[in-house]
Structure 1
Amino acid sequence: MPLSSRPDAQIWLAIMAAALTTALTVVSFWLSFEALHDLARSHRLQGERAWAWPATIDSFIGIGELLILRASLLRRVDPWAITITAAGSVGSIVLNIASVGVSDDPLDYVTAAVPPVAALLAFGVLMRQVHEFILSRQGVLTAPSVLPVTPSLKDVEQEDFEKAQEAVEEPEDEHDVTEEPEPVEEPEEPTGPLTQRDRIDLTVRGLYDSLGNRRPATRHIRQALAEANLPNSDGTCREARIRVEVAEPHLRTLPDAIAA
């Protein structure tokens, strides 16, 4: 297969997966609504009220999944979103099974439980696809405007940075050293004072090493910038992390650090 056709195939596969997942989500919620509607109608709710009652149960699944998606994009864990999703899912499953009544055939209960379970899983898969799409769009929109930062510093403290500058500026008079010189040339150090954004980027880059080769969370970045008397809003933290990871793409593959 030619290389140019591979991205097209991936796009079409993603579109087909999204379409099938959406169809599965709609069908699953519809079957769950039907069962809950029958349950409501058998307990003195008629007409529009019987159709509206299932929404008080299954809507929690959609609300919780959307809140989980939002928290995921913010790289946070939302306990309320998880609780809402779990409550809606468990309630829908239990009430769908209860709509069967008394039955000697276990498959009746299995049949009643499948739609709410499928609705939860299908909607979760759909939100995962939306999550990946949004992240891919964010990468496309932010990548062209990012300026690279100096990738060779391991510590972000100003004292260590000044020591590194002095070491580079000293004349090379160590020809009698037995160690072989490194083939890679060191990048030139900045001749002028660091800008505020350079200091922010250096501070963020140092967190990857200080956290044990892990990606810092927004809380880590905000705390480090605050200690350095630098701007530390959430937007500043996220933009600095993007700039650092664009300059060094391998940092993006590191495991996330747990925000303490």
Structure 2
Amino acid sequence: MSVRQPAWGWAVVTAATGTVLIGIGAFWLSFMALADLAARSGIAPGQAWIWPLLVDGLIVVSTIAVVALDGRRGAWYPWALLICGALVSVAANALHAIVAADASVPAMLAATV
């Protein structure tokens, strides 16, 4: 006698696809904002692209390490890197929004967006 599995495969595929698409969009927006912020901060435009890869790449790598080291003694280190990387990314994206925003948009609104 076989046990019928629930028909939730479509939900998992939809959720996974949505997660990937949202991740790509978020990475692209963050990449563009951080590269522009780096260029505005004096880093040569030909080199400014590396800043978002370092910041957001740290988030990706530390997330993978957190999952891989789940429950192990050394898991605190990738968690610390993940938290620090996320804080730097969010802060830098918010600062970029404030610097690059149109004068008619309040700074706090720009940073929130």
Instruction: Give 1:45 deviation, angstroms.
Output: 2.5
* In 2: Cα distance, 1:107 partner to 1:57 partner: 23
* In 1: Cα distance, 2:19 partner to 2:46 partner: 28
Residue deviations 1:109-141 (CA, integer Å, cap 9, x gap): 101xxxxxxxxxxxxxxxxxxxxxxxxxxxxxx
User: Is the CA contact (8 Å cut-off) linking 1:61 and 1:88 kept in structure 2?
Assistant: yes
Residue deviations 1:60-104 (CA, integer Å, cap 9, x gap): 1111110110012xx325110110000100001111111122866
Alignment equivalent of 1:86, drawn from 83, 86, 91? 83
Rg comparison, structure with higher value = 1
Question: Which structure is higher in helix share?
Answer: 2
* In 2: Cα distance, 1:22 partner to 1:95 partner: 23
* In 2: Cα distance, 1:46 partner to 1:17 partner: 39
Letter in 2 for 1:65: T
**2:56 aligns to what?**
58
Alignment equivalent of 2:24, drawn from 11, 23, 26? 26
* In 1: Cα distance, 2:83 partner to 2:42 partner: 27
TM-score in terms of structure 2 length? 0.81
**1:38 aligns to what?**
36
User: Is the CA contact (8 Å cut-off) linking 1:60 and 1:87 kept in structure 2?
Assistant: no
**1:109 aligns to what?**
111
3-state DSSP of counterpart to 1:62: helix
**2:72 aligns to what?**
76
> Where do 1:40-189 residues align within 5 Å?
40-72=38-70, 75-76=71-72, 78-99=75-96, 100-101=98-99, 105=106, 106-111=108-113
**1:11 aligns to what?**
9
**Higher RCO (C-alpha 8 Å, min separation 6):** 2
> Where do 1:176-255 residues align within 5 Å?
none
3-state DSSP of counterpart to 2:60: helix
Residue deviations 1:41-65 (CA, integer Å, cap 9, x gap): 1122234311122111111111111
Letter in 2 for 1:15: V
Alignment RMSD (CA, Å): 2.0
Letter in 1 for 2:26: S
TM-score in terms of structure 1 length? 0.37
Identity rate, percent: 26
* In 2: Cα distance, 1:19 partner to 1:56 partner: 25
* In 1: Cα distance, 2:52 partner to 2:69 partner: 26
